[in-house]
Amino acid sequence: MLKDKIGLFVIELMGNGISSRAVLKKGTLSFIEKSTIAGQCIYILDADRKVCNYAESGIWIENKLYTCNTEKNGRIMLPYIEGSRTSKAVLLHQGVA
């Protein structure tokens, strides 16, 4: 049932008064980045290390969604900010974060 699906799955088996639970992590998202004159250039990679080039792929940073540019092979441009700051990011790709 989980073929071609990615995510975090909880499987629980119960029988004869005994239960057993397993947590499965299937697939992952990662990214590569490089600095450019215009800002940080980000590419999201799926579990097969292929670039996610879909309109529903993107990255959430500080309550703002930056989406993939499908015409530029999935590139996401993050503009530079003034000063130094550390932020958490959430990668999104086809309903998986």
The pLDDT of residue 95 is 81
CB atoms closer than 10 angstroms to residue 69 = 13
Alpha carbon distance 80, 46 (integer Å): 25
Q: Enter the pTM of the model.
A: 0.76
Alpha carbon distance 53, 76 (integer Å): 10
Q: Where are the domains of the chain?
A: 29-92
The pLDDT of residue 51 is 92
CB atoms closer than 10 angstroms to residue 57 = 22
The pLDDT of residue 87 is 84
pLDDT tens, position by position, for the chain (97 residues)? 777 777 888 999 999 889 999 998 888 889 999 999 989 999 999 888 899 888 889 999 988 999 998 899 899 999 888 878 888 999 998 888 8
The pLDDT of residue 14 is 93
